[in-house]
Amino acid sequence: MFRVLINKYLAHSLAQNSRTMCYRVKPLPDSLVSLGEGPHWDAARQSLYYVDLPVGGLLRYDYRENKVYRTQIEGEKLASFVLPVECNLQEFTVGCGRRTVIVNWDGVAPCTKVRRTLFEVQLDKPQNRFNDAKTDPSGRLFAGTMLYGPEEFERREGELYRWQAGGKVELVKSDVGISNGLAWDKKSKKFYYVDTTDYEVKSYCYDIETGCIDKPKVIYNFRKTSPKDHIQPDGMTIDTDGNIYVATFNDAAVYKIDPRCGKLLQKIKLPTMQITSVAFGGPNLDILYVTTGAKHGEPAPAGTTYQVMGLNVQGYAGVNLKI
């Protein structure tokens, strides 16, 4: 019996090792940007949408063509996120400053325009902007803000908001530094959230019917002994096993974490430092797409978007926004 248990343990360990060791990292063609953010996989179009945040740019990687298309939003200096609109192939919601707007884009044209504004937040804080945003499994929008300036780590002026079709924008959470990664586990009724300035990932109980969150709990701590060495968590996604993947802005890696026990399962290393966000995609939803940044003069390949293959897991396609 003891030998049987040992053999089972070794077999399990080998299986785990084979799942975590043999991955491949490959850059997307012509994907270099100043600050890539907000990757969203659109299964219907087999395309990855994301933004070049500080220049108001939107990008689409076409999987079938293996090609990246870009567009510039006329008159806009910032684009924090881009999310397709349900039942309208050419409409997207985009975070522009403190506004959430609708733009029309065919996925090819080099320029586009804002068509209308859905809502605006923090009218008394003109120095703020939207940062990360996603739709929950029901198609609601969750979007967070932050101070846009050199004191972004010192001043907690951000907030997290929720919006759904037919309703008004609602405050979910205040006292936020840099609102960042968002992920939902529908099966376990959990919501995972990153405020970069807290250097941790929190879980919340999630009501899928109302979109309400409660009972926050720290599930992973990125702090080190010295504050200057703290790892900065950024964007986030989740796989079908319930494990989360957290981009780290100053550690050249994506952390795969089991949120149920807070265990680091894998550190997926990338060839550049500023890892900004992640999303699963591809025909089988088994490719991890990773956006990166080139802030503070970081040299190329900083700002490249990568695909990580061979992780032997699957994720979820992005959910379109219902308006």
Q: What is the pLDDT of residues 22-40, one digit of tens each?
A: 899 999 999 999 999 999 9
Enumerate domains of the chain plus CATH numbers: 23-309 (2.120.10.30)
185: which 2 tokens?
């586990």
Residue 20 has pLDDT above 60, yes or no: no
Please write the tens of the pLDDT for every residue from 224-255.
988 889 999 999 999 999 999 999 999 999 99
Please write the tens of the pLDDT for every residue from 311-320.
999 999 999 9
**Which residues belong to the annotated binding site for substrate?**
129, 131
Q: Which of 234, 239, 251, 286 is catalytic?
A: 234
Distance separating alpha carbons of residues 86 and 107, to the nearest angstrom: 15
- Average pLDDT in the 146-160 region? 93
Positive or negative, the Cα torsion across 162, 140, 190, 98? negative
Model pTM score: 0.93
Q: Does 214 participate in catalysis according to the annotation?
A: no
**Which residues belong to the annotated binding site for a divalent metal cation?**
37, 180, 234
78: which 2 tokens?
């910032």
Cis peptide before 301 (omega within 30 of 0): yes
- Other C-beta atoms closer than 10 Å to the C-beta of 313 total 18
